[in-house]
Chain A
Amino acid sequence: MPPSNDMSNQAPPYSSYGYPSMQPAYRQGPASHTDSSPSQDLYSQSNYQQYSQPFPNLSQLSAALGGLSGVPELEVESLRPVNLLQERTLLPPRPLEAPEPNLTPDLKKVNCSPHVTSVTGSMMVRAQSLTTVDLLISLFNTAFCSLSVLFILTVSIAFRLQIITTLLFLSYLVPDEFMYNPVSRSYGEPHRRPEVQNSTVEFIASSDYMLRPPQPAAYLFVLDVSHNAVEAGYLKYFCESLLENLDRLPGDTRTRVGFLTFDSTIHFYNLQEGLSQPQMLVVSDIDDVFIPSHDSLMVNLKESKELVQDLLNSLPAMFSQTRETHSALGPALQAAFKLMSPTGGRVTVFQTQLPTLGAGLLQSREDPNQRSSTKHLGPATDFYKKLALDCSGQQIGVDLFLLSSQYADLSSLACISKYSAGSIFYYPSFHYIHNPAQLEKFQKDLERYLSRKIGFEAVMRIRCTKGLSIHTFHGNFFVRSTDLLSLANVNPDSAFAVQMSIEDSLADSSLACFQAALLYTSSKGKRRIRVHTLCLPVVNQLSDVYAGADVQAITCLLANMAIDRSISSSLSDARDALINAVVDFVNSYKSNVSSLQQSGLVCPSAMRLFPLYIHALLKQKALRTGTSTRLDERVFAMCEFKTQPLQQLMRMVHPDLYRLDNMSDQGALHLNDTVVPQPHLLHLSAERLSRDGAFLMDCGNVFYLWIGKCCSDMFIRDVLGIPNYASIPPNMFILYCPKKACLLFVFLFFCRDDGSAKATFFQQLVEDRSESSSSYYEFLQHIEQQMSK
């Protein structure tokens, strides 16, 4: 049968689902430099003058650049050299999107969307030996994020995951069962089956995939009730929130809950159905913790609901007069572990101070006079790590809410969540009266946390094409073996990253494929496997790799590596390594790809934002020096880098800045009869701000709206409902809920020109110099100096 690209009717042979013919082309998503404001044109004009042609003829340009393979249809926009020292406008008009790999339309449809998986480059080079530079290849994955459409399948063959990978490699051997397509209920056309047509598919796992019957959802809440905790006042708000959300806890009729409170002793609560009120059992021997009575400390939620509600209502009052100042967190965690071992599940720990009693007690390591010191970034003891590994082995995930106002050694405490696949939430200076912003954030985070989807007893396996191997992992999980990650709990808000290297040449494939498979138990007790697949074309030339690079993924990967380096050696080493990364990149571009002898800093258009992002990264709380940063905040910022999804991270590093008061309808989106204007992105520099404007800065989980002194009163009235500039209260904020359910609630702070949020706003303007760090231009000059060494 002659091969044809028409994929309809009778069982066409596999050869018709052909490989894309080798086109080493690449496309960068958004068009760049379509700014129409005159001042920016001036700069880009001068840059073009340099090359003395506005690129009307692609083959002319390709000849000028030299060294590119002679494919006439080359989209050279991504490779256009950009002289960073001269071009002032680098940002695209709309937020950057990941570059799309150039595959056939069918394969492109099947590829994972960037918000699920993104890769540092949309091309894979064929062999490490072809490159004289070190290639960083890495994959970011939010394995469990909410998807609008998800196909769920039952396949009874074993090794079905191997089949998917093989299908991508065009195997001719197709089992009979694959000839039936359950979605369209027709036979034939195995390439139309959902798992081949969609990048993310969920399978129902058979009993081969279960070591034990699927566990029920089990939630244990471990609450600090020392004097400090009562001062901070979180308990009342936690109880209120849990009472409201008790029905929204993911689970079914088998859901279990339990409560543990601790100060210098540990208190258990007997919630057996039939008791008239909850019974408190106190264990004061914290050196050898034992569980008083096994059965009714974790109870079925449905059966004991009234008792649970009684307990939550009375808990805040029970401890309001406490004088206990010690906190025995270690023994409480040991007790929690013992309690949850039979089933597994989720433990939520609320802590408000340094643990001072019992196993796992910590000393204060931060010297308040040395706030800019960068030592003590690693844990002080291995107690929490060991406990986390024990918990991970019993499928218990521990989430930590740290609500302390003083140093609480987060670097040691964080271990309990890091290796048991938990999440960490930190509220510095939490106080229910003095810090209403933190209180609101806590309440909203708690609401999201209690009701979000969860998966239990999960493992994740990441496979890639032969020739690639994974050598480093970033994220909260335990690596059980070379490609198997053990995740006690999975939730939609955390992301993982892996770094790969090319071991052997990818000589005989024109596609490199990656597959992440997550085996988990849903909260309703169903065992599922969710599979994400991504494939990339393999190219032979280094220039093609440059053209397909995803600068945001690269920045976040380098951030992860810098954090690892700062913990294992020192922060200044990590910062130097980041600067060297930029220098190496520019050097290698100059020597390998660009044949133009240019002075100045030239890099390909696809990567023009790379030095800017690295410069912004060096000013982040996690990696900055010179400015006083509390140790806990620094450690928390590092933990965020390891677990937040890519888009969140990028907005944290380089926020999006828009001007609001002069938006036009040019280029606006038309959605459902409303016109949504699309303002352009601005560079993060005070020179772009103006007194008579209002500017919105999107930092991911916080928005800032800065209003200049001379901003028009009409704008202030219409948008804020306040008569004029002078009546804006100095510390105003509102809580804004974006439509997308994935995100946490965001804060919108209004900054007057002289308010306190102003300082934070201005700190985010990364291109400007501050007392302790250089401006972007100075950074570029420093890079140029390093290059010529």
Chain B
Amino acid sequence: MEAAVFILSLVDCCALIFLSVYFIITLSDLECDYINARACCSKLNKWVIPEMIGQCLSTMLMLVSMHWFIFLLNLPVAAWNIYRYAKVPMGNMGVFDPTEIHNRGQLKSHMKEAMIKLGYHLLCFFIYLYSMILALIND
């Protein structure tokens, strides 16, 4: 049972890692002028909700299986994702808005955010791996 929870979280975390990498690659493509702002933003906006779902799934799993420490580790990122999504003003085309992305260093801040998330997900990945192995051994 424990192992199943951790296997699921591990898979979820892998997906989130791949997603972060995808975000980083797309944003750096925009920086280097390989794609234009509209294409970049529509690609990224498509994956904002799946990322949120993935993160919340992981958090819920940890909550349900009562692993409090890991739950508290996941909670800030989930909360941040939800806050970022809810804070988008009505006139914007999503979290990534092509008309605003080149203004006020937004591109840089999005890039930084994606990098931090990547680091965080990698950390979580190893935690889940370790916990999963522990759970499998204990079974």
A residues sitting closer than 8 Å to B (CB atoms) are: 378-382, 385-386, 389, 393, 411-412, 415, 419, 471-473, 478-482, 484, 564, 568
**CB atoms of A415 and B104 under 8 A apart:** no
Is B33 an interface residue, CB under 8 A from the partner?
yes
Starting from the known contacts A481-B33, A481-B37, 5 additional A-B residue pairs (CB-CB under 8 Å) come to: A378-B90, A478-B37, A480-B37, A482-B31, A564-B103
Chain A nearest CB: distance from B32 CB in Å? Answer: 9
Q: Point out the residue from B36, B89, B93, B102 that lies within 8 Å of A473, measured CB to CB.
A: B102
Interface footprint category on B = 10 to 19
Query: Chain A residues with Cβ under 8 A from B91's Cβ?
Result: 378-382, 385, 411-412, 415
**CB atoms of A389 and B103 under 8 A apart:** no
**CB atoms of A471 and B105 under 8 A apart:** yes
Query: Binding site of B, secondary structure by majority: helix, strand, loop or mixed?
Result: loop
Chain B nearest CB: distance from A567 CB in Å? Answer: 8
**CB atoms of B93 and A385 under 8 A apart:** yes
Chain B nearest CB: distance from A678 CB in Å? Answer: 42
Q: Point out the residue from A382, A478, A481, A564 that lies within 8 Å of B93, measured CB to CB.
A: A382
A-B contact pairs, 30 of them (CB 8 A): A379-B90, A380-B90, A380-B91, A381-B91, A382-B92, A385-B92, A385-B93, A385-B99, A386-B93, A389-B38, A389-B99, A393-B38, A411-B91, A412-B91, A415-B91, A471-B103, A471-B104, A471-B105, A472-B103, A473-B102, A473-B103, A479-B37, A479-B99, A479-B102, A480-B36, A480-B37, A481-B30, A481-B102, A482-B31, A482-B107
Cα–Cα, bound, A385→B91 (Å): 8
Query: Chain B residues with Cβ under 8 A from A411's Cβ?
Result: 91
Query: Chain B residues with Cβ under 8 A from A472's Cβ?
Result: 103-105
Is B98 an interface residue, CB under 8 A from the partner?
yes
Q: How many A-B residue contacts, CB cutoff 8 Å? A: 57
Cα–Cα, bound, A419→B33 (Å): 20
**CB atoms of B99 and A419 under 8 A apart:** yes
Closest partner residue, chain B, to A485 (CB atom): B102
Encoded as 1 (CB less than 8 Å from any A CB) or 0, chain B from 20 to 42 comes to 00000000001101001110000
Query: Chain B residues with Cβ under 8 A from A415's Cβ?
Result: 91
**CB atoms of A389 and B92 under 8 A apart:** no
Chain B nearest CB: distance from A559 CB in Å? Answer: 16
Chain B nearest CB: distance from A573 CB in Å? Answer: 14
6 interchain residue pairs of minimum CB distance:
A379-B91, A479-B102, A382-B93, A481-B33, A378-B91, A472-B103
Query: Chain A residues with Cβ under 8 A from B103's Cβ?
Result: 471-473, 479, 564
Cα–Cα, bound, A471→B103 (Å): 6
Query: Binding site of A, secondary structure by majority: helix, strand, loop or mixed?
Result: mixed
Query: Chain A residues with Cβ under 8 A from B102's Cβ?
Result: 473, 479, 481-482
Q: Point out the residue from A381, A419, A481 that lies within 8 Å of B36, measured CB to CB.
A: A481
Chain A nearest CB: distance from B43 CB in Å? Answer: 15
**CB atoms of B31 and A564 under 8 A apart:** no
**CB atoms of B90 and A389 under 8 A apart:** no
Query: Chain B residues with Cβ under 8 A from A379's Cβ?
Result: 89-91
Cα–Cα, bound, A534→B103 (Å): 23
Encoded as 1 (CB less than 8 Å from any A CB) or 0, chain B from 94 to 124 comes to 0000110011110100000000000000000
Chain B nearest CB: distance from A783 CB in Å? Answer: 26
Cα–Cα, bound, A385→B104 (Å): 19
Chain A nearest CB: distance from B33 CB in Å? Answer: 5
Cα–Cα, bound, A393→B103 (Å): 19
Cα–Cα, bound, A99→B90 (Å): 42
Chain A nearest CB: distance from B31 CB in Å? Answer: 7
Closest partner residue, chain A, to B38 (CB atom): A389
B residues 31-64 near A (Cβ < 8 Å) are 31, 33, 36-38
Chain A nearest CB: distance from B129 CB in Å? Answer: 39
Query: Chain B residues with Cβ under 8 A from A568's Cβ?
Result: 89
Query: Chain B residues with Cβ under 8 A from A564's Cβ?
Result: 103-104
Query: Chain B residues with Cβ under 8 A from A386's Cβ?
Result: 93
Closest partner residue, chain B, to A482 (CB atom): B102
Cα–Cα, bound, A467→B131 (Å): 48
Cα–Cα, bound, A473→B91 (Å): 18
- Known contacts A389-B99, A473-B102; A482/B92 CB under 8 A: no
Cα–Cα, bound, A448→B98 (Å): 33
Query: Chain B residues with Cβ under 8 A from A471's Cβ?
Result: 103-105
Cα–Cα, bound, A480→B30 (Å): 9
Query: Chain A residues with Cβ under 8 A from B31's Cβ?
Result: 482
**CB atoms of A482 and B98 under 8 A apart:** no
Closest partner residue, chain A, to B88 (CB atom): A382
Cα–Cα, bound, A473→B99 (Å): 10
Query: Chain A residues with Cβ under 8 A from B90's Cβ?
Result: 378-382
Cα–Cα, bound, A382→B33 (Å): 25
Chain B nearest CB: distance from A484 CB in Å? Answer: 8
- Tell which of A419, A473, A481 has the most Cβ of chain B within 10 Å: A481
Chain B nearest CB: distance from A98 CB in Å? Answer: 26
Query: Chain B residues with Cβ under 8 A from A381's Cβ?
Result: 90-91
Closest partner residue, chain A, to B101 (CB atom): A479
**CB atoms of A482 and B33 under 8 A apart:** yes
Cα–Cα, bound, A378→B38 (Å): 20
Cα–Cα, bound, A573→B54 (Å): 36
Cα–Cα, bound, A481→B33 (Å): 6
Chain B nearest CB: distance from A182 CB in Å? Answer: 33
Closest partner residue, chain A, to B36 (CB atom): A480
Chain A nearest CB: distance from B26 CB in Å? Answer: 14
Chain A nearest CB: distance from B36 CB in Å? Answer: 5
Chain B nearest CB: distance from A496 CB in Å? Answer: 13
Closest partner residue, chain A, to B90 (CB atom): A380
Query: Chain A residues with Cβ under 8 A from B33's Cβ?
Result: 481-482, 484
Cα–Cα, bound, A478→B97 (Å): 12
- Tell which of A379, A385, A568 has the most Cβ of chain B within 10 Å: A385
